[in-house]
Amino acid sequence: MAAASSAIAVESLSKTYQVHERAAGFSATVRSVFRRRTRVVHAVEDLSFSIAPGERVGFLGPNGAGKTTTLKVLSGLLHPSGGRVRVAGFVPQYREAGFLKRITLVMGQKQQLLWDLPPVETFALNRAIYGISDAEFRETMAELEELLGIAEIAAKPTRQLSLGERMKCELAAALLHRPEILFLDEPTIGLDVSMQLGVREFVRRYNEQRGATIVLTSHYMDDVAALCPRVIVIDKGRLRYDGDLASLVRSVRPHKRIALRFGGPVDRALLERVGAVLSLDPGRAVLQVPQEELRQAMSWLLGQTDIADLTVEDPPLEEVMRELFAGGDGEDARAEPAGAPARAGGEAAP
């Protein structure tokens, strides 16, 4: 896909750091004054992908994989050590005004709200920074208040708000200028279940109503499963997988899970004739069967046991990711979903 038709185009991105190393103790400290020992850390290596306008993409990897580093490069906070990057048609590292008005970065572990002042003060500050007109500001605030339910809390001092309320106000502050591209780094971290659901629903609605491009990193796999049809997985700074989420699950764990609730007692040996018994409690069981044997297994179970309820599920995404990362440094996995845009290649703009 040509870079001009991509919201984000990344080609052979790399980011390295020089890290100073020294042993503990006073003598080591003195020696380091005269002879510094350093090593090169590759945070991101030869990373390429493209994202089309309006896509919702999960950007996944273990701690230290390079996810946040990549998002900071894409948002212009870090300069790349190599490769080419374009976001919304701009080179991020130049931080041009037109670029800054089209993107936003929300980091769940950092805040922009002023601690002792109410969020409305931060909203007013951002309005001035982005040069938002009075009419547009009122219209956007009314929309965000309705979507996020912050009308009654935005006038309270930030320090008096709960974590979930602060996160909602952070999102509002980040979206006042109506960005086309959202980089969301752990936006639901520390939130309770109801607040997580609220943030997910808001992100989905913003994407659908505005056609915004969403790049989401999260260690909560429920966030990814609910929002992101496509995932990009990196490990040790390198691409491991780029494709649709369902294909990733099938490639790593080609099984289905059958959750059963029985109307009476059931024999474990009977269930083992169908598949692996993952759990068995009085009246309940979870089986794992190969995808291709699912229909036959369900038919047999319905005919041989007193089943009150039956549910077919994919393996938990957490297990899929753990197994993928435990697989070592094998070949990158790339699955192209039907109708998906071409991934980044030699056409990324200079």
pLDDT digits (tens, 9 = 90+) for 251-280: 888 888 889 888 888 888 888 888 899 988
Mean pLDDT of the 216-221 span: 89
The domains found in the chain, sorted by start residue, are 3-250 (3.40.50.300), 254-313 (3.30.70.980)
The closest of 246, 186, 192, 234 to 62, measured between CA atoms, is 234
Structure confidence at residue 328 (pLDDT): 54
User: Within 13 Å of residue 311, how many CA atoms lie on the same side as its CB?
Assistant: 8
Yes or no: say if 203 and 215 are a contact pair by the CB < 8 Å rule.
no
Mean pLDDT score across all residues of the chain: 86
pLDDT band at 336 (very low <50, low <70, confident <90, very high): very low
Residues 8-30: b if buried by 16+ CB within 10 A, e if exposed: bbbbbbbbeeeeeeeeeeeeeee
The pTM of this model reads: 0.80
Radius of gyration of the chain (CA): 24
Tens digit of each residue's pLDDT (9 = 90 or more) over 171-191: 999 999 999 999 999 888 878
Measure the CA–CA gap between 151 and 142, rounded to whole angstroms. 9
Mean pLDDT of the 35-61 span: 92
